[in-house]
Amino acid sequence: MIKEQIKFELSAKSSILLTLTILIFALIIFIPKIYLRNNIYYVSKDINRLYSHYISLKEENKFLHQQLEDAKFKNQITDSLMLEKIKE
């Protein structure tokens, strides 16, 4: 009867040890995977945010370029009108 209790205690201890070993092994494998996926998610969010800023700045650049062209055209017309008045 004592031998059966010792076997039971050893098997209980060994099963707990086996369970903890499997748990630690699973954590060692899955924690880096979770960490990398998390980082990839946040980096992709940052990339999307920066890309949307890039698109809006590109549109603003087009708008400013158009305004610059309009100002140059208006300046050329006023210069030519002033030159005609000076010649008269």
Q: What is the pLDDT of residues 22-68, one digit of tens each?
A: 999 999 999 999 999 999 999 999 999 999 999 999 999 999 999 99
CB neighbour class for 14 (10 Å; exposed up to 12, middle 13-18, buried from 19): exposed
- DSSP letter, residue 86: H
Residue with tokens 């630690």: 24
Angle, CA of 50, 51 and 56, to the nearest 5°: 100
Considering the entire predicted model, what is its pTM? 0.58
Reply yes or no on whether the pLDDT at 6 is more than 60. no
Average confidence (pLDDT) over 9-27: 87
Q: Which residue has the higher pLDDT, 35 or 15?
A: 35
Q: Is the pLDDT of residue 2 over 70?
A: no
Q: What is the largest CA-CA distance in the chain?
A: 129
